[in-house]
Structure formats: structure tokens, C-alpha cells
Amino acid sequence: MTELKPLKHGRQKYYRDKCRCDKCVRSWENFNLKRNAKKKETRAAIKARKLDAAPLLALMYEQVDKHSSLGRKMRYWRANGVDPYTADKVCCELGYHPFEVFGDAWWRGAFDE
């Protein structure tokens, strides 16, 4: 079995060897700051791609039991928006084209480049 090489002080030494010297702690904190900033950017990009769910919810309101799993999803969509792929699937199941439900918002971003 091979032995692990000793690490220099930094993020890996903090993680693997549980070193808590100032250099290792600062390195770990910087890593976490960068990781959290990247997560925020990713979440913002995902939220920007979502559609406002109000037209879809108005269409489905009377047809869905509020206490079912779909009712829970509808509450989530009201708060966070609905993913275009999910919106397409639900609209097709109801017998509508998503453009009929969302209007021009459905085509938003389709021709950007």
C-alpha cells in the first residue's frame, strides 16, 4: 500500500489531515467563499430561465386537489416559477400548446445568441 505524500499547508491539509493553522483555515474559507459565490450565480441563472407560473396555475386551479403532490408543486411554482420543460409537459397533458398558456413569454430566450 502506498503512503500518502505529506501535503503543504492549505485547503487539502485542512480537509485531509485536519490541520487548523491560520494558513489552512484561510485557504478553506477562501475556497468556501468562491464555492458559495458560484452557487449563487448558478441559482440566479436557473431562476432567470424559469417562467412566471401564474397563467398555468390559473388554468389548473380548479382541476387539481390542493393537498396532492401536484398541489405542492403548484405552490412551489407560484413562489419560484416553472421550468420551461415542466411547463411544456404539463401544458401538453392538459391539451394546450405552451404558447397558448404563456404567450410571448414562452419564446423568451429561444432566439438569443
State mean pLDDT over 7-22: 88
Query: Could you tell me which residues are beta bridge partners of residue 51?
Result: 82
pLDDT surpassing 80 at residue 22: yes
pTM for this predicted structure:
0.61
Question: Tell me: the pLDDT tens digits for 42-99?
Answer: 988 888 888 999 999 898 887 878 788 888 999 999 999 999 899 999 999 889 999 9
Average pLDDT value for residue range 9-16:
89
Beta pairing partners, 82: 51
* Closest by Cα among 80, 31, 27, 82 to 59: 82
45/20 Cα distance (integer angstroms): 35
Interatomic CA distance for residues 107 and 104, integer angstroms: 6
- Look at residue 113 and tell me whether its pLDDT is greater than 50: no
> Nine-digit cell at 34?
468562491
pLDDT of 9 > 60? The answer is yes
